[in-house]
């Protein structure tokens, strides 16, 4: 059976505070990367030439990718908020 010593949680809080900055930096880097990757998808989907000529399954795929990126971005932004509280 697993036993957790009381003072290990205090240690976790201290390490947590030290790791916060690194974690925030990491989240911001991921956000930047995702937003960059989302740009061409958004561009395609807002391009009338693309949307009028592309087969529906291609458009659906792009919409799925867009939704996936947006959900990841939202989750990361939520994570950031939890660090700022």
Using one digit for the tens of pLDDT, what is the confidence trace for 30-66? Answer: 999 999 999 999 999 999 999 999 999 999 999 999 9
Q: Which helix (H) or strand (E) holds 54?
A: none
Contact 62, 44 (CB under 8 A): yes
* Cα–Cα distance for residue pair 51/55, rounded to 1 Å: 8
pTM higher than the cut 0.85: no
Express as a percent the part of the chain with pLDDT over 70. 78
């Amino acid at each position: 059976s697993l036993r957790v010593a009381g003072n290990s949680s205090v240690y976790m809080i201290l390490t947590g505070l030290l790791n916060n900055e690194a974690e925030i930096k990491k989240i911001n880097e991921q956000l930047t990367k995702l937003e960059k990757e989302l740009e061409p998808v958004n561009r395609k989907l807002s391009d009338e030439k693309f949307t009028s000529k592309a087969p529906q399954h291609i458009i659906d795929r792009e919409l799925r990718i867009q939704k996936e990126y947006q959900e990841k971005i939202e989750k990361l932004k939520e994570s950031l908020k939890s660090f700022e509280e």
